[in-house]
Amino acid sequence: MCEAHAYMERDGREELLLESVDRVEPQADGSFLLVNIFGQQKTVRAPLKRMHLVEHRIVFGS
């Protein structure tokens, strides 16, 4: 499977937000809706910093 794990970067450290993310959907208020392959959802209120898909990583943070 080709999902990625979503992390929040804070003070140089990365904290796991949601594993096995399938869908990332930007919302009108600037947040991101994440939905993983298990149907779990999380809203992230921080900018997207970078994605490295081969490494299965999506990183948010200001």
- Write down the least CB distance from residue 13 to its own copies, Å: 20
- Write down the least CB distance from residue 32 to its own copies, Å: 9
- Write down the least CB distance from residue 6 to its own copies, Å: 11
If the CB atoms of residues 4 and 17 are measured against its own copies, the closer one turns out to be 4
Binding site for its own copies (CB under 8 A): 1-4, 21-26, 37, 47-54, 56
Of residues 34, 30, 61, 33, the one with CA closest to residue 48: 61
